[in-house]
A and B are shown apart, each in its own frame.
Chain A
């Protein structure tokens, strides 16, 4: 099975189109104004999917099995509370806190109409027919309830292609998430039809994921070494999105960031974004005198020269670690620029990069990582956005057999702290 950007681009359009139809139908049914939030194609390991899913919130889902042009499962998942609110808008006398037969069937009905919306959207884009089974109501807090009995549920180590869309209602809490798990064989056929270039062997995506994993680990390790704050990788995903969707994911608040361009196979851009509080905590840990009495909350609004250079230095070393992780997996060398400091609205810090990449590509693979610390503020979003053509080249050169053996060592001595 091979895939290329054209095929993935069509998949992405499918996801958008489906989300639009589903949102329209939800509005029609509930009279609540809705809009499509982020739509993503994710490549995730079974383990990561389960982790992503397992916040303590009780959820309800409506699941259908697909046949025809796409085989697999389509699942609409609501937070339990949101599902109950939706029932209220449809069955006006209901103020249920538990799911009785009536509210259960109301949610199943809504979920089914949502699922059908997505599926009609995909069928439109693919100009084909997709069959849908009768809907099944699922309730629970863990991923196992939702995914484990699927015929081809991804095991912990399997890399699955996942469609995620979020639809939110304006002013009310009735948002939901949507997951599509296509079966490998049927997806392979669809990809084959859509592909218009040589493409990448699907198995080489394994290399993608390994790159992402090594890079993320290196960042967490270097951050811990440098700041003394014990950090770990919280979320890690590989997204395929349209360029315009990237800034939509960045919080629209003032952030502190360090940006790099990197050069090699692949080339691209790397951004580390911290919320202001985390940035202060880091400055505090690295240069204890910089924020006066050491209380991060009372620090000055702006970052002085010492604070700025501490953050740049941390960014620089994290960038080296991250890109070393990649270079080791790819058996190549990747150089990076000196750090550029930015303290501005998050969106504004990301858009120059997508503007530049937009000259030559419409979509991008985004390596999206969240590093956090227990007990202290250290939230760092890492966005690595490689140039598409370079990435395809790097992956095609990749020897899948040696991925497991690749060592990862960040060499602190080599870093130029200019």
Chain B
């Protein structure tokens, strides 16, 4: 069972688990924990300060039967679902920007081919380009896991990497 530590006084971030997505406005923080080959996709509209985070597991939802039921599971359907929900909340499609993080490849197994993380990254880039959403920042690939925190109000995506020497590296996108 997952448990989450919280700093005293700080609002509890909304957890976005694997295959889930969440849309929010303002200062609420959305968080996805321990991404390996999964991909975090953050979309936001800087004008309305509405944004969302998806924790996608697989690249291609259009080829899958259950993508209607679980749009957040696939990079392509997650991006479309995030956009739709943001626009419903009042975001303007044309000003939406994207940031992505994750898609590591920690294991070099034969069955993994070119890398399972890499496939997710490519799928997200393709879908964003198709929809005309600019990808303004990314921190992808490599062989380390990542934890991300996204604040739609500011559009800040914090990426934390737990290094092998025990330190935590933080990148702000």
Contacts and interface: CB of A to CB of B under 8 A. Distances in A.
B169 interface: no
Contacts of A247: 18, 34
A120 B94 CA distance: 44
Interface in A246-299: 247-249, 252, 254, 259, 261, 267, 269
A342 B145 CA distance: 10
Tell me if A's interface is mostly helix, strand, loop or mixed. mixed
Interface stretch (B43-51, B104-112, B133-141, B150-158): B104-112
Nearest to B12: A170
Contacts of A349: 36, 106, 145
Nearest to B144: A344
Interface of B: 1-4, 12, 17-19, 33-38, 57-58, 66, 73, 104-112, 116-117, 120, 144-147, 162, 164-167
A352 B108 contact: no
A252 B34 contact: yes
A166 B107 CA distance: 32
Given A249-B1, A261-B110, A244 B116 contact: no
A290 to B, nearest CB: 16
B106 A344 contact: yes
A37 B3 CA distance: 10
A413 interface: no
A340 interface: yes
B18 A244 contact: yes
A347 B36 contact: yes
A195 interface: no
B148 to A, nearest CB: 12
16 contacts: A244-B19, A254-B162, A267-B111, A337-B109, A340-B107, A342-B106, A344-B36, A345-B162, A347-B35, A348-B104, A351-B36, A351-B37, A351-B38, A355-B57, A355-B117, A362-B66
Given A301-B166, A358-B57, A352 B37 contact: yes
B147 A352 contact: no
A350 B37 CA distance: 9
Given A248-B18, A349-B36, A352-B104, 4 more contacts: A244-B57, A252-B34, A345-B33, A349-B145
A87 B147 CA distance: 38
A354 interface: yes
A348 B57 contact: no
Tell me if B's interface is mostly helix, strand, loop or mixed. loop
Nearest to B146: A348
Residue among B35, B38, B104 facing the most chain A CB atoms (10 A cut-off): B38
Q: Closest 7 interchain pairs by CB?
A: A348-B145, A347-B34, A301-B166, A348-B36, A351-B36, A345-B34, A352-B37
Contacts, number: 116
Nearest to A362: B66
B126 to A, nearest CB: 17
A359 interface: yes
Contacts of B144: 344, 348
Contacts of A353: 107
A175 B89 CA distance: 34
A218 interface: no
Contact of A340 (B2, B17, B37, B109): B109
A50 interface: no
Given A166-B1, A244-B17, A302-B165, A355 B58 contact: yes
A261 B3 CA distance: 29
A243 B150 CA distance: 25
A168 B33 CA distance: 19
A346 interface: yes
A125 interface: no
A266 B107 CA distance: 20
A35 B94 CA distance: 36
Contacts of A162: none
A252 B12 CA distance: 17
A131 B57 CA distance: 39
Contacts of A354: 18, 57
B161 to A, nearest CB: 9
Contacts of B58: 355, 358-359
A197 to B, nearest CB: 15
B1 A38 contact: yes
